[in-house]
Amino acid sequence: MSLKGKTAVVTGGARGLGRAIALRLASDGAAVSVWDLKREGAEETAGMIQKLSGRAIACVANAGSASDIAAATSCTRAELGPITILVNNAALSPFAPFETITEEMWDALMALNLKGPFLCTKAIIPDMLAAGWGRIINISSSSAQTGSSAQAHYAASKAGVMGFTKALAIEYATRGITVNNVPPGFVDTEGLRASPVDIEGFAQKTPMKRPGKPENIAAAVAFLASEAADYITGHTLSVNGGRYMN
| Domain spans, the chain | 7-229
φ/ψ of residue 59, rounded to 5: -125, 125
* Closest among 27, 22, 28 to 2, alpha carbons compared: 28
* Closest among 60, 240, 235 to 143, alpha carbons compared: 240
Summarize the confidence of residues 172-186 as an average pLDDT: 95
Which CATH architecture group holds 7-229? Answer: 3-Layer(aba) Sandwich (3.40)
How far is residue 112's CA from residue 193's CA, in Å, rounded to a whole number? 21
* Amino acid letter, residue 34: V
Q: Are 123 and 69 in contact (CB under 8 A)?
A: yes
pLDDT higher at 187 or 232: 232
Lowest mean pLDDT among 7-21, 165-179, 202-216: 202-216
CA separation, residue 221 to residues 4, 86, 129, 158 (Å)? 16, 10, 21, 17
- Whole-number average pLDDT of the chain: 94
Q: What is the pLDDT of residue 199?
A: 67
Above 80 in pLDDT, residue 246? no
Lowest mean pLDDT among 110-114, 146-150, 201-205, 242-246: 201-205
CA separation, residue 147 to residues 118, 180, 214 (Å)? 23, 20, 21
Summarize the confidence of residues 208-217 as an average pLDDT: 89
Above 90 in pLDDT, residue 22? yes
Above 80 in pLDDT, residue 192? no
* Closest among 187, 242, 225 to 8, alpha carbons compared: 225
Above 90 in pLDDT, residue 185? no
Q: Catalytic pick from 154, 172, 231, 244?
A: 154
Please tell me the pTM assigned to this model.
0.96
Residues in CB range of 191: below 8 A, 6 or more apart: 16, 93
244 is catalytic: no
Express as a percent the part of the chain with pLDDT over 70.
97
Res. 205 pLDDT band, cuts 50 70 90:
confident
DSSP 13: T
